[in-house]
Amino acid sequence: MRWFHLAIIVLFAAATFIFAVQNFTTVTMSFLGLRASAPLALVVAVVYLLGAATGGSLFALLRRSYEGSRPRTSR
């Protein structure tokens, strides 16, 4: 099962990489009145990495919270 999850992650990363390589046009982003222009490939890569980092840390936080809230059994 672990290899299956790894294969899914690798396929998703490969699809993201292929998308980024094929889209080098410059895009303009605006956020809270700030504007920035960057290649779409760079934007995709940054968003992907930020999503992976925050998603993994959120999952770890939720798991720790769940394990801490479970009733402990006394032996």
Q: What are the phi and psi torsion angles at 30 (to 5°)?
A: -135, 140
Nearest residue to 25 (alpha-carbon basis) of 43, 45, 46, 39? 39
Higher pLDDT, 9 or 48: 9
Joined together, the tokens standing for residue 56 give 């993994």
- Tell me the C-alpha distance between 16 and 42, whole Å: 11
Which residue(s) pair with 10 in the sheet? none
pLDDT at position 37:
92
User: What average pLDDT does the segment 1-8 reach?
Assistant: 83
DSSP reduced 3-state for 34:
strand
pLDDT tens across 17-66, in order? Answer: 888 788 888 999 898 999 999 988 888 888 888 888 887 777 677 777 76
